[in-house]
């Protein structure tokens, strides 16, 4: 369990270990490449380990890319890259690290990093955040693992094992943000050295945030937000209480370090509408995920944030319509109809919204309106996956207004 003394001890260790390792790495393999040529078995063990880690990183990242979960949105990518650049310590420049952030369409509230500088953050985590300072804390924590070469250290310094852990195991366990909050790989289960690395990353992230002029007090509010979110659900079962206690203790330790070592209580928080506007694509993607899995209230919360961030975008209103239609509580059909109508007003070429209006009218027996909407939708997207249904319903569509099909 992380204590205050542990945090301070880790801080001193952090200053020693990376320096030694970074020197060793200078003799190691070149900067990360998609496919890293493995050095011969006789090569320097540090260089060899580093290459094995990079090789494993490439393998895992290729699998992630192949899963089709990447959210590629230029504005969102640029925003995250800006934050990352502001956090990157000057000492890391020239170290061959190419830090970068990728967003993944995944409901699990998680983030993790790879030794080659790649950071992955899930939409499920992004939508739980309430300020840029909180987001910066997540990114800084992951960045700290990268610039400290924590994966390499975990393989080379493995005091509690006789054999070094395999690279795949290390990559999976270093910098797992959910574990940080007592998530699916609970903090309490981590080996002492891995826990130490997490603690060091915590402390380094405070330094990075302070250097980038973020408000640390507001950044640490992430603990409160995440404790009440779905992330807490990953820490259920008999270990749940222990998990929650570990997460609370960790938050308290960080707060104590903050109070003692960072007297400045000001700085930017980034809690305004701009923050949500920048994250709008993540909110929309997460809303779609929640909708597909029937988590309507979660879907609605995200869709409303996205719609507020981009009120003129037809897709946002169409998404709201989909949520109301499928949730189907009292009053929802009217809300769905209104949202679809708003969507087609904003973008008359949005085929899905026309078809959705057609379905609504068809169910209500308003066949003339259904036919008109279906035909418009079909004309706009004749090859869509739901064309079969539209044609089928059109064939059933009677032309007498008010008659139930």
Partner 1 sequence: MFIASVVLACAHAGGGNPAPTTFSVAVPEGWKTIPCDEPIIFMTKDGGYKQFALVQERPLGKPFQFSQRTIRNDMLPHEAAEVVIGEIMSDQNIRDFSLLENVPATVAGNRGFRLMFLYKDADGFVFKTLYYGFIHGELFYNLRYGATQDELFEKDLKTFKQVFDSFRLVTAKTT
Residues that bind partner 1 (CB under 8 A): 67, 292-294, 326, 359, 362-363, 385-386, 388-389, 392-393
Instruction: Report residue 233: phi and psi, to 5°.
Output: -65, -20
Q: How far is the CB of 214 from partner 1 (least distance, A)?
A: 35
Element (H, E) at 223: helix 222-227
The DSSP call for residue 214 is B
Is the four-CA dihedral 273, 220, 146, 26 of positive or negative sign? Answer: positive
Q: How many CB atoms lie within 10 A of CB 405?
A: 14
| DSSP state, residue 112 | E
CB of 230 to partner 1, least distance (A): 13
Instruction: List 79's β-bridge partners, or say none.
Output: none
Name which of 34 and 294 has its Cβ closer to partner 1.
Answer: 294
The DSSP secondary-structure symbol of 176 reads: -
The tally of CA atoms less than 13 A away on the side-chain side of residue 206 is: 24
Neighbours of 130 (CB within 10 A): 17
Question: Which residues are registered as beta bridge partners of 101?
Answer: 119
Q: Write down the least CB distance from residue 391 to partner 1, Å.
A: 8
As a whole number of angstroms, the distance between CA 25 and CA 155 comes to 14
Closest CA to 303 of 339, 270, 271: 339
Sign, CA torsion 139/129/257/160: negative
Q: Which is nearer to partner 1, 120 or 393 (CB)?
A: 393
Looking only at the bridges linking them, the beta strands covering 118-122 and 100-104 are parallel
Minimum Å gap between C-beta 396 and partner 1 is 9
* Residue number with CB closer to partner 1 (294 or 348): 294
Separation between Cα atoms, residue 207 and residue 212, nearest integer Å = 9
Query: Are the C-beta atoms of residues 144 and 205 closer than 8 Å to each other?
Result: yes
Shortest distance, CB of residue 281 to partner 1, whole angstroms?
20
Residue 395 CB, nearest distance to partner 1 (Å)?
Answer: 10
Cα-trace Rg, the chain: 25
What is the closest distance, in whole angstroms, from the C-beta atom of residue 366 to partner 1 in the complex?
Answer: 14
Among residues 41 and 385, whose Cβ is nearest to partner 1?
385
Which residues make beta-bridge pairs with 100? 118
Find the shortest distance in angstroms from Cβ 392 to partner 1. 4
**Beta carbon nearer to partner 1, 166 or 294:** 294
4 vs 292 by CB, closer to partner 1: 292
| Closer of 207 and 386 to partner 1 (Cβ) | 386
Residues in the chain, total: 405
Min dist CB 290 to partner 1, Å, is 10
CB of 289 to partner 1, least distance (A): 8
Choice between 43 and 398, CB closer to partner 1: 398
| Nearer Cβ to partner 1 (193/389) | 389
Are 160 and 191 contacting, i.e. CB atoms less than 8 angstroms apart?
A: yes
Q: Is the CB of 187 or the CB of 393 nearer to partner 1?
A: 393
Measured CA to CA in angstroms, residue 399 lies from 362, 367, 395 at distances of 11, 6, 11
Angle between helices 4-26 and 192-211 (to 10 degrees): 90
262 vs 389, which CB is nearer to partner 1?
A: 389
- Tokens at 339, concatenated: 């949202």
Q: Name the minimum Å distance from CB 329 to partner 1.
A: 12
């Amino acid at each position: 369990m992380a204590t205050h003394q542990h945090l301070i001890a880790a801080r001193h260790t952090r200053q020693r270990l990376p320096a030694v390792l970074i020197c060793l790495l200078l003799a190691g393999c070149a900067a990360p490449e998609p496919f890293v040529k493995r050095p011969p078995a006789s090569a320097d063990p540090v260089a060899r380990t580093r290459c094995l880690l990079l090789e494993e990183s490439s393998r895992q990242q290729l699998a992630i890319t192949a899963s089709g979960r990447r959210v590629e949105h230029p504005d969102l990518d640029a925003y995250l890259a800006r934050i990352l650049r502001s956090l990157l310590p000057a000492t890391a420049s020239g170290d061959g690290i190419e830090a970068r952030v990728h967003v993944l369409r995944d409901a699990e509230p998680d983030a993790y990093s790879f030794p080659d500088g790649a950071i992955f953050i899930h939409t499920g985590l992004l939508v739980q955040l309430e300020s840029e300072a909180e987001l910066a804390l997540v990114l800084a924590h992951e960045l700290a693992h990268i610039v400290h070469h924590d994966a390499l250290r975990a393989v080379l310094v493995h005091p509690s094992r006789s054999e070094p852990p395999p690279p795949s195991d290390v990559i999976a366990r270093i910098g797992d943000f959910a574990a940080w909050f007592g998530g699916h790989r609970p903090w309490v289960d981590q080996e002492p050295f891995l826990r130490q690395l997490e603690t060091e990353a915590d402390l380094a992230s405070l330094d990075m945030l302070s250097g980038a002029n973020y408000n640390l007090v507001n950044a640490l509010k992430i603990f409160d937000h995440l404790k009440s979110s779905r992330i807490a659900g990953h820490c259920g079962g008999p270990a749940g209480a222990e998990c929650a206690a570990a997460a609370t203790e960790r938050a308290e330790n960080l707060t104590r370090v903050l109070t003692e070592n960072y007297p400045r209580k000001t700085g930017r928080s980034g809690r305004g509408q701009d923050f949500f506007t920048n994250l709008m694509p993540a909110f929309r993607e997460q809303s779609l995920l929640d909708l597909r899995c029937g988590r309507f209230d979660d879907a609605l919360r995200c869709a409303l944030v996205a719609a507020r961030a981009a009120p003129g975008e037809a897709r946002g209103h169409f998404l709201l319509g989909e949520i109301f239609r499928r949730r189907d509580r009292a009053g929802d059909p009217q809300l769905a109809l209104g949202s679809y109508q708003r969507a087609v007003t904003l973008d008359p070429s949005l085929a899905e919204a026309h078809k959705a209006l057609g379905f609504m009218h068809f169910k209500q027996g308003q066949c003339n309106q259904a036919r008109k909407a279906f035909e418009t939708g079909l004309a706009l997207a004749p090859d869509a996956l739901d064309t079969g249904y539209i044609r089928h319903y059109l064939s059933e569509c009677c032309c007498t207004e008010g008659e139930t099909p």
